[in-house]
Chain A
């Protein structure tokens, strides 16, 4: 089936550790996005990529890094520099004709 796959679904990490969240899509979409959602709040843009080997910072890029080496993959690394990393992380890709965002099921990161 076509879609967006995020992993892991749940992740626990200790303070000071980096962690990488995976996002893979087989929809042949060029644009991909990472958002963060905190309880009771909306989605905030971390990074987005419109094409392979290119990406732009969103509103809250500090403490995060991304890469886009392949069209299908857009991993997000949450670094130890991110002060409050506990959140729900959502990856999406964008349909070329409609502009619709297709989301993965999300990754819940908890820092212990």
Chain B
């Protein structure tokens, strides 16, 4: 079993749609969690950290469920510019592990 698993997609949604991604992790000792965004042929960039209480940044909401060992990312009112691959990252003692990513395409 992979340490971090994501649905690879692709998710093809119309502008304005709400879309949600999940990510599961296998190690219950994982300490911190992040969502990164990666555009084609570019380096990943931090989208948001994921806190135990859940957190929101504009149209983006991240949640953590430690009991079930998954994190989620919700994107509301999708924009064309949200088209990218979204990477889930799990940290345990500075050992940062990435999921394979979920590809999102937002269409007009």
Q: B-contacting residues of A (Cβ < 8 Å)?
A: 31, 33, 35, 41-45, 48, 50, 56, 58, 88, 90, 92, 94, 98-101, 103-106
B96 within 8 A of partner (CB): yes
Are A101 and B94 in contact, CB atoms less than 8 angstroms apart?
no
| Minimum distance in angstroms from B48 CB to a CB of chain A | 10
| Minimum distance in angstroms from A84 CB to a CB of chain B | 17
| Minimum distance in angstroms from A35 CB to a CB of chain B | 7
| Minimum distance in angstroms from B30 CB to a CB of chain A | 12
A-B pairs, 7 with minimum CB distance: A42-B100, A103-B43, A43-B98, A42-B98, A42-B101, A99-B32, A100-B46
**Known contacts A98-B49, A99-B34, A100-B49; A45/B44 CB under 8 A:** no
Sampled A-B contacts (12; CB under 8 Å): A41-B100, A41-B101, A42-B87, A43-B87, A48-B95, A56-B95, A90-B43, A90-B44, A92-B96, A99-B49, A101-B96, A103-B45
**Known contacts A103-B44, A104-B43; A45/B91 CB under 8 A:** no
Q: Cβ of B91: which chain A residues have Cβ within 8 Å of it?
A: 99
The total of chain B residues at the interface (CB under 8 A) is: 22
Q: A-contacting residues of B (Cβ < 8 Å)?
A: 6, 32, 34, 36, 41-46, 49, 87, 89, 91, 94-101
**Known contacts A45-B95, A90-B44, A105-B43; A100/B34 CB under 8 A:** yes
Most buried by A among B95, B96, B100, B101: B96
Our pick among B6, B42, B45, B98 for the contact of A35 (Cβ within 8 Å) is B98
| Minimum distance in angstroms from A112 CB to a CB of chain B | 20
Q: How far is the CA of A34 from the CA of B7 in the complex (A)?
A: 24
Q: How far is the CA of A88 from the CA of B87 in the complex (A)?
A: 16
Are A101 and B100 in contact, CB atoms less than 8 angstroms apart?
no
Q: Cβ of A99: which chain B residues have Cβ within 8 Å of it?
A: 32, 34, 49, 91
